[in-house]
Chains A and B, each alone.
Chain A
Amino acid sequence: MLDDLLARFGKRDRLALARLLTLVARGEHLDAIRLALAAADSAASRPAPPVVALTGNAGVGKSTLVGKLAEYLRGQGQSVAVLACDPQSPLTGGALLGDRVRMPSRPDDLGLYIRSLAAVSGNQAVAEHVELMIRLLAGFGFDVILLETVGAGQGDTAVRELADVVVLLVQPETGDELQWEKAGLLEVADVVVVHKADLAGAERMESQVRELLTLPGCREITVLRVSSTKQQGLAELWAAILACPRHDARVGDARALLRRAQQVLAERFADRVQRVGPVVDRWKRHELDEAQAADELLQLLIR
């Protein structure tokens, strides 16, 4: 069944993509899918598409802005895939995934793909295995991948590892400057958007964020005002995203290389499972710590 799915995926069958995303979301066949993607990647040698994460508090307008950004990019002729995370109940495992409500409905447009994902609480505001879903969407050929986190606020910083560019949304009249000192998010953001810029207080919010960013030790971060309601600032936002040093082609290449290398290593280890097994067992019995285990694994590879 999986082989059939992967073959259909290779022929750009959208239903196969949808099913593979489901399998990944459930944590099934992860290694097989990784290996298949790695093989396809090295055959195609396409540059990895930019992965842009949008994060911020609940109600700040993430879904809306993702939708507007997707429409803007479609207008520029770029195909877009959206992974939209909403929270899953830790008690029942249930989830109400409503991000599509605020996203463009373009049933005839095959250049837009939207997938709603349930994020387990405590999992850093994104669904599990999102990294592999991103690779699936990239492998399918989407030009841009937008990742919307659940409405999390402070400290959810896992997106940094998943995305090339992290956009933090804030809105007017939310908290004082101290709120920003608390947030771990400002440290991972590449671009800060003062969203709902058509509302009163947006300029003050912008100046507050700017002032905070001038404190010693802060990185240079672009701050801009965007209004989804009035369709203002979208082009500027996309330009700012592309201008981020994170999206430097060399950084992208290095990440792509590391990802590939990881695949190669996984394949080699799979071949040597007989010899890797004992190392894993000793690590599980706490006879080795991670560093020692890593050294042993390296030795195995070199030999």
Chain B
Amino acid sequence: MVKCVENQIPLRIVLAKVGLDGHDRGVKVVSRALRDAGFHVIYPGLWQSPEAVVRTVADEDADWLGISLLSGTHMTLVPRIVEMLRAAGLDHVGVLVGGIIPETDVPKLLELGVARVFGPGTPMAEIIDFLRAHGSRTHA
């Protein structure tokens, strides 16, 4: 195996499951793929409140937050989290959304400030390339 991230500072990304959504297979697959791509993935577990997610992002000094939602609550929870991140002075943290998101909702999420929405079947390389291309807005 090739040591692919030599001399590169790993990005820190919080991957979060919010609310009562218990489907964590997707987020675990993404966690593993990002770990193997050299990222530092912080996974706080299921059933996080928006408040807890924002606290984790703040205390962990994360560059990115990935929110996994398969419960249809994205139009309720994502705006709240984005709003709370702003209020906490964390505008520099990039927000990604993954999971089951109807196509009609994607533009709405992007308008809120979400950087990208990844749906089912997204190749891991696409997520990895996106993160590498955008890097860290924190430590630019």
Co-assembled chains A and B: yes
Binding site for B on A (CB under 8 A): 14-15, 18-19, 21-22, 26, 88-89, 91-98, 100-102, 105, 107-108, 113-116, 118
Given the complex of chains A and B, what is the CA–CA distance between A303 and B51 in angstroms? 57
Q: Are B41 and A94 in contact (CB under 8 A)?
A: yes
A92 touches B38 (CB 8 A): yes
Q: Which residue of B lies closest to A109 (CB)?
A: B55
Contact B10–A18 (Cβ < 8 Å): no
Contact between B45 and A100, CB atoms less than 8 A apart: yes
Contacts of B9 in A (CB 8 A): 26
| Pick from B5, B34, B37, B59: contact of A18, CB under 8 Å | B59
Could you list 29 examples of A-B contacts with CB < 8 Å?
A: A14-B59, A15-B61, A15-B90, A18-B59, A26-B9, A92-B1, A92-B4, A92-B35, A92-B37, A92-B38, A93-B8, A94-B34, A94-B35, A94-B38, A94-B40, A96-B32, A96-B43, A97-B41, A97-B43, A98-B42, A98-B45, A100-B42, A105-B55, A107-B49, A107-B54, A107-B55, A116-B42, A116-B60, A118-B10
Complex: A22 Cα to B89 Cα, angstroms: 17
Interchain nearest-CB distance for B111 vs A (Å): 26
Question: Per a CB cutoff under 8 Å, which of B6, B41, B60, B88 touches A95?
Answer: B41
**Which one of B37, B43, B89 contacts A94 once the chains associate, using CB atoms below 8 Å?**
B37
Q: Which residues of B contact A98 (CB under 8 A)?
A: 42-43, 45
A22-B12, A93-B8, A107-B54 given; name 7 further pairs at CB < 8 Å.
A15-B58, A26-B9, A92-B38, A94-B36, A97-B40, A98-B42, A98-B45
Q: Which residue of A is nearest B2, CB measured?
A: A91
Question: Do A15 and B89 have beta carbons less than 8 Å apart?
Answer: yes
How many of B's residues come within 8 Å of A, CB to CB?
A: 39
Asked if B44 is at the interface of the complex by the 8 Å CB criterion, the answer is yes
From A94, A101, A102, A114, contact of B39 by CB (8 A): A94
Q: Whole-angstrom distance from the CB of B40 to the nearest CB of chain A?
A: 5
B25 at the interface (CB under 8 A from A): no
Residues 2-26 of chain B: 1 if any A CB is under 8 Å from the residue's CB, otherwise 0?
0111101110100000000000000
Assess the B40–A105 pair: CB atoms within 8 A: no
Q: A58 CA to B39 CA in the complex, in Å?
A: 22
